[in-house]
Amino acid sequence: MKKFLKITVILLGLAFIGIQLKPVDRTNPPVDADLDFDGPEEVRAILQAKCYDCHSNQSDWPWYSYVAPISWWIAHHVEEGRREVNYSEWGKYSERRKEEKIEETYDEILDDLMPIKSYRITHPDSKVTEEEFIIIEKWLDGEL
């Protein structure tokens, strides 16, 4: 029994080392200041502080994003997040698309879906506050 346990631990250890070899894309595409979010300054501050890790080309990659399998999961969130809305490439969006994204940004915060729950565990201050939500609402209503 003891021997069996020892072999199991060794195999698990080898598997853990093995999965570290799988390449993970953690690249931040170059940032073009001309395309970056150019909405109201108050809104930009909120997005930068609470959303840019997944919805921009300026993601922060913490140490645990270098440890598989967590790294796969984080890289996937960033990839999906950038695909949904990339505030670093705001300038590429048509006026109509921008309006759509403003509405989605508002809706996701209203329904408390963003930032995603798992991110809030490691970033406890990332929840959007009441005051910040009011700013987002004004932005949506064109009052900023």
CB atoms under 10 Å from CB of 76, counted, come to 12
Per CB under 6 A, 60 contacts ligand HEC: no
24 vs 109 by CB, closer to ligand HEC: 109
CB atoms under 10 Å from CB of 86, counted, come to 21
Sign of the C-alpha dihedral, residues 136, 134, 60, 65? negative
Q: How many residues bind ligand HEC (CB under 6 A)?
A: 19
Please give the span between the terminal C-alpha atoms of the chain, in angstroms, as a whole number: 69
**Which residues between 62 and 81 bind ligand HEC (CB under 6 A)?**
77, 80-81
Sign of the C-alpha dihedral, residues 63, 65, 68, 70? positive
- Out of 36, 43, 55, 75, which residue is the one contacting ligand HEC (CB under 6 A)? 55
Per CB under 6 A, 89 contacts ligand HEC: no
Please give the residue ranges that form the binding site for ligand HEC (CB under 6 A).
50-51, 53-55, 77, 80-81, 84-85, 104-105, 108-109, 114-116, 119, 128
